Amino acid sequence: MSDTRQGPQPLDPAGSGQPAPSMAGLRCLVLGGGGFLGLNLCNRLAAAGAEVTCFSRSHIQSEVLDRRVARVTGQFADRLAIANAVERQDVVFHLIAGSIPESSNRDPSAELAAAPIATLHLLEICRSARIRKLVFSSSGGAIYGIPRAIPIPEQAPTDPISAYGIGKLMIEKSLHLYRHLHGIDYQILRIANPYGRFQLGTKHQGLIGSYIHRVLLGLPLEVWGTGEVVRDFLHVDDVSDAFLAAVSYDGPHKVLNVGSGRGLSVNQIIAELEVAFGRDRLPCIHKPSRAADVPANVLDTALIRSELDWQPRVALREGLISTIAWMRAHLAEIGAGAAAPHPAREG
C-alpha cells in the first residue's frame, strides 16, 4: 500500500463552475477514487477545502488528481488496507462497484460475492472507527428494473434485472441494517447515467463516453436494438455537486435520485453528438438488444431538488462539447490506458 501527495496542480481541480460549499478540515475518504466519478469527486472535495484521501486499486497519474489529495492503493477486499484508510476519517464515500449490468449476469454469484460482502466488512470498520457519515453511490439506472411509470420516484419498486443492480440493492439494505443496529449515518444517491471528463469510453460502460471515443477513433457507433431505449443523462459536475450536498444533509430521506429528470433515446443522443461534432451523420452499426437493458429509465428528481436544494446545471450540449474537448486532448493516454484505472469497477 502506498500514500503519496506529490504531483502538479491540474488545470481544473474543482471540475464544476459552481462555488463549492466549504468543507474546510473535513476528512474525506473516497473509495473507488481512481474511477470516473471518484476522480471528479476527489478534485471537487479538495477544491472545497476537505482533506481528501483517494483509495484506488491502481496507481493514478499525478496530473489527474489535485495535488492536495492523498493517494492510497489497495484492494477493497483487503480489510487491513480498508481499516487503515478509514481510520480518522469523518466521511466515507463508497463508489466501488462490482462490474457493469451486462457482464454481471454472466456470473451472478461472483457479482454478489464481491462488493456486497466487502461492504459489510467496510461497515464493521466504519462502526469501529466511528465515522460521521457514509455516502453510497448506487445506481438509478439498474436498481429499479423495468419501471411501472416514468419518471421513477425513490418509492418505486426495486426489481433489478441484472446482478449488478441486485448487488447495489444489497448494499443499500446493509446500510439500513447498520443504521438500525449501530446508528451509522448514511446517504444513498441513486445516480442516473453520468458522463464527462475521466470517462474513458473503453470499458463498455457509459454510452456517451463510449460514443465520443469511437467517433474520435473513426469507428461506427454501436446501437443495441432500435436505438429507442431511453435513458437519463447528466454531467459529472452535477453528480459531484450532489455528493457534496449530501454530506451536510440531515433530513429523513436516506435515498435520493440524482438525474436530469429528462429522458433521451439513444438515437437522440446520436443526433446531439452529430451537432456537437459538426457532422451531418455519424455511422452506426446495429446489434441485437441486450437482456440487461431496461426499455426506459428516467429518474424523478423532485425529492433531491427540495431536500438538498440541488438541481443539474450543465446543459447537455455544453456538456457534450466539453467532454469531446477533454477526450480529444487525452486520446493518446486513453488508448494506452493511462488516464484512469478501471472506471467500470471504480466510481
- What is the distance between the terminal CA atoms of the chain, rounded to a whole angstrom? 20
Q: Examine the residue annotation and report whether 211 is marked as an active-site residue of this protein.
A: no
**CB-hemisphere CA count at 13 Å for 127?**
15
Element (H, E) at 12: none
270 phi and psi angles, rounded to 5 deg: -60, -40
> Using an 8 Å Cβ cutoff, are 243 and 308 in contact?
no
DSSP-derived secondary structure for 284-304: EEEE---TT--SB--B--HHH
Single out the residue of 163, 200, 196, 170 nearest to residue 320, CA to CA: 196
Where does the chain show beta strands of DSSP type E? Answer: 3-4, 27-31, 51-56, 70-73, 91-94, 133-139, 186-191, 193-195, 221-224, 230-235, 255-258, 263-265, 284-287
> Using an 8 Å Cβ cutoff, are 115 and 167 in contact?
yes
User: What single-letter amino acid sits at 283?
Assistant: P
Question: 62: which 3 cell numbers?
Answer: 499525478
> Using an 8 Å Cβ cutoff, are 346 and 38 in contact?
yes
CA–CA distance, 88 with 25 (Å, rounded to integer): 12
- Pairing assessment for the beta strands 3-4 and 70-73 based on DSSP bridges: antiparallel
> Using an 8 Å Cβ cutoff, are 194 and 208 in contact?
no
Look at the block and give the residue holding cell 457514509: 134
Cα 157 → chain centroid: 22
Of residues 144, 164, 178, 186, which has the active-site annotation?
164
Where in the sequence numbering do the catalytic residues fall?
Answer: 164
